[in-house]
């Protein structure tokens, strides 16, 4: 992890912490701070924290700083904010960590890290995963499938064991953990596992060295319980295939519970033009503009054309033309403006089963809109289209 601790490199930022909590953070690495000639104060003697000296040390971290302290400071700076406060408060309550009435987000994040660092690590991972955009979707083999979250197995040990064996065979190490988080309308699974080992040049003091380590990766699997399907984010195609099989087997009893089927269809753009991006029936949406369209003319020369503009439909209208009827529509980018949100969201759709757009609560809204506009083919229609 790069040593970038800008949040802690200014005395005024450090003063935002309750002194006793900041002192407890420092005390987790007494030896390191002693080597930097930083005097750890003793409150009972009336000593005060030298914020300028402490900020100077944290502004210029080196390889001697304990890894746990570096990770902790990164987690506290990332999660110690108003946006995460409610989640942190719930986390502290569930973990039995006492919280006072005047606690700040920074103090609360630090308190959780000091008491249960693993909880803060998991929260940071979940926040990062919710920002992942590219997923491949797999439809249920039974178009009439309904998912009752209450009937799904809570024990994931069998799934973990099967995945652990898969990663062991791939020479990715023996560790594998699966975490489950229930969300409105879906269940999110996080799969932590090792990757192939790496050997990289490194520096230790003034000496050149070599660091050997096994990186860890966390993949994400989403089970949509409202519109039954499995969505997977993974950098490895073999891992993605294994997730499809094993999640189907251990959650529903069959490795073929989910199968590949085209989910996204771009034909509404050609058939309806600008009308395919209508938003008036969705109060949370303000507008939608097609900004990029990839067209495949086929043939032996692999002729690919791209229409790109701030508004493709308006650009075509000015040129007194339209989307041609012959070629296949392969990829589209649509900018959707949410009411009350300044920055538009970019939806990237690929004809087939791959999508890229923001996740979390917004994902459900975009999925509903895409279904209403018939960009998503699902259920019985999916099999008719495939046939």
Shared domain check, 304 and 189: no
Shared domain check, 105 and 61: yes
Question: What's the confidence (pLDDT) of residue 361?
Answer: 67
DSSP 8-state secondary structure symbol assigned to residue 264:
B
| Helix ranges (DSSP H) in the chain | 11-14, 19-27, 30-35, 51-59, 67-79, 82-95, 105-115, 117-130, 157-169, 237-252, 267-272, 312-318, 361-372, 380-386
In a domain, 217, yes or no: yes
Question: What's the confidence (pLDDT) of residue 2?
Answer: 42
Q: Which helix (H) or strand (E) holds 194?
A: strand 186-194
Shared domain check, 149 and 97: no
- Do 257 and 138 form a contact (C-beta atoms < 8 A)? no
In a domain, 1, yes or no: no
DSSP 8-state secondary structure symbol assigned to residue 327:
S
pTM over cut 0.85: no
Encode burial over 321-355: b for 16+ CB neighbours within 10 A, e otherwise: eebeeebebbbbbbbbbbeeeeebbebebbbbbeb
In a domain, 339, yes or no: yes
In a domain, 146, yes or no: yes
Shared domain check, 138 and 255: yes
What domain range is 87 assigned to? 6-129
Shared domain check, 172 and 124: no
What is the per-residue pLDDT across 297-342, written as a single tens digit (0 to 9) for each? 987 778 899 999 999 999 999 999 999 998 999 999 999 999 988 8
Q: What share of the chain is helix, strand, coil (3-state, %, to 5)?
A: 40, 25, 35
> Nearest CA to 177 among 188, 164, 167?
164
Shared domain check, 149 and 229: yes
Provide CB contacts within 8 A for 257, sequence distance 6+. 140, 141, 145, 247, 248, 249, 251
In a domain, 207, yes or no: yes
Provide CB contacts within 8 A for 215, sequence distance 6+. 194, 195, 198
Q: How far apart are the first and last CA of the chain?
A: 49
Report the distance separating Cα 234 and Cα 322, nearest Å: 37
Shared domain check, 118 and 26: yes
In a domain, 238, yes or no: yes
In a domain, 174, yes or no: yes
What is the per-residue pLDDT across 192-239, written as a single tens digit (0 to 9) for each? 999 999 888 877 767 787 888 898 888 999 999 988 999 998 889 899
Question: What's the confidence (pLDDT) of residue 381?
Answer: 43
**Which residue, of 259, 275, 302, is where some domain finishes?**
259
Question: What's the confidence (pLDDT) of residue 350?
Answer: 86
Shared domain check, 155 and 124: no
Number of domains in the chain: 3
**Which residue, of 226, 259, 292, is where some domain finishes?**
259
pLDDT (tens digit, 0 to 9) for every residue of the chain, 387 residues total?
A: 444 456 677 888 888 889 889 999 999 998 888 888 888 887 666 678 888 888 888 877 777 888 888 888 888 888 888 878 888 998 899 889 998 888 899 899 999 999 998 888 877 776 665 554 578 889 999 988 999 999 999 999 999 999 999 999 999 999 999 999 888 888 999 999 999 998 888 777 677 878 888 988 889 999 999 889 999 988 898 999 999 999 999 999 999 999 988 888 899 999 999 999 999 999 999 999 999 999 999 877 788 999 999 999 999 999 999 999 989 999 999 999 999 888 899 898 888 877 776 556 677 888 889 989 999 886 434 434 444
Shared domain check, 254 and 142: yes
% the chain with pLDDT above 90: 44
Question: What's the confidence (pLDDT) of residue 360?
Answer: 60
In a domain, 176, yes or no: yes
Number of neighbouring beta carbons within 10 Å of residue 98: 9
Q: Which two tokens stand for residue 214?
A: 């096994």
**Which residue, of 228, 259, 290, is where some domain finishes?**
259
Shared domain check, 243 and 301: no
Shared domain check, 330 and 217: no
Block residue for tokens 């406060």: 85
Shared domain check, 100 and 190: no
Question: What's the confidence (pLDDT) of residue 359?
Answer: 57
């Amino acid at each position: 992890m790069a040593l970038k601790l800008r949040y802690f490199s200014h005395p005024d930022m450090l003063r935002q912490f309750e002194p006793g909590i900041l002192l407890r953070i420092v005390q987790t690495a007494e030896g390191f701070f002693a080597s930097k000639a930083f005097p750890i104060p003793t409150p009972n003697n009336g000593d005060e924290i030298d914020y300028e000296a402490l900020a100077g040390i944290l502004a210029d971290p080196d390889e001697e700083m304990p890894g746990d302290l570096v990770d902790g400071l990164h987690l506290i700076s990332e999660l110690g904010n108003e946006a995460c406060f409610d989640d942190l408060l719930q986390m502290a309550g569930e973990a039995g960590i006492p919280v006072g009435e005047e606690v700040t987000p920074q103090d609360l994040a630090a308190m959780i890290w000091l008491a249960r660092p693993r909880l803060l690590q998991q929260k940071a991972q979940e926040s990062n995963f919710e920002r992942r955009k590219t997923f491949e979707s797999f439809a249920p083999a039974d178009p009439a499938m309904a998912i009752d979250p209450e009937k799904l197995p809570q024990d994931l040990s069998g799934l973990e064991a099967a995945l652990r064996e898969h990663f062991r065979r791939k020479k990715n190490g023996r560790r594998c953990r699966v975490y489950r988080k229930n969300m409105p309308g879906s269940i999110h699974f996080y799969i932590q596992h090792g990757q192939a080992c790496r050997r990289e040049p490194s520096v230790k003091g003034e000496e050149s060295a070599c660091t050997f380590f096994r990186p860890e990766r966390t993949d994400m699997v989403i089970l949509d319980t409202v519109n039954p399907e499995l969505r997977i984010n993974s950098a490895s195609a073999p891992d993605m295939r294994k997730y499809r099989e094993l999640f189907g087997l251990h959650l529903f009893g069959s490795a073929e519970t989910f199968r590949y089927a085209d989910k996204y269809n771009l034909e509404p753009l050609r058939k309806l033009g600008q009308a395919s991006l209508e938003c008036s029936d969705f109060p949370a949406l303000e507008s939608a503009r097609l900004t990029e369209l990839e067209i495949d003319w086929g043939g032996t020369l692999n002729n690919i054309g791209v229409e790109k503009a701030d508004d493709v439909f308006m650009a075509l209208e000015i040129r007194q033309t339209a989307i041609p009827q012959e070629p296949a529509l392969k990829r589209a980018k649509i900018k959707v403006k949410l009411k009350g949100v300044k920055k538009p969201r970019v939806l990237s759709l690929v004809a087939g089963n791959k999508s890229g757009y923001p996740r979390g609560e917004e994902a459900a809204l975009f999925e509903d809109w895409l279904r209403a506009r018939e960009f998503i083919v699902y259920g019985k229609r999916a099999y008719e289209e495939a046939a």
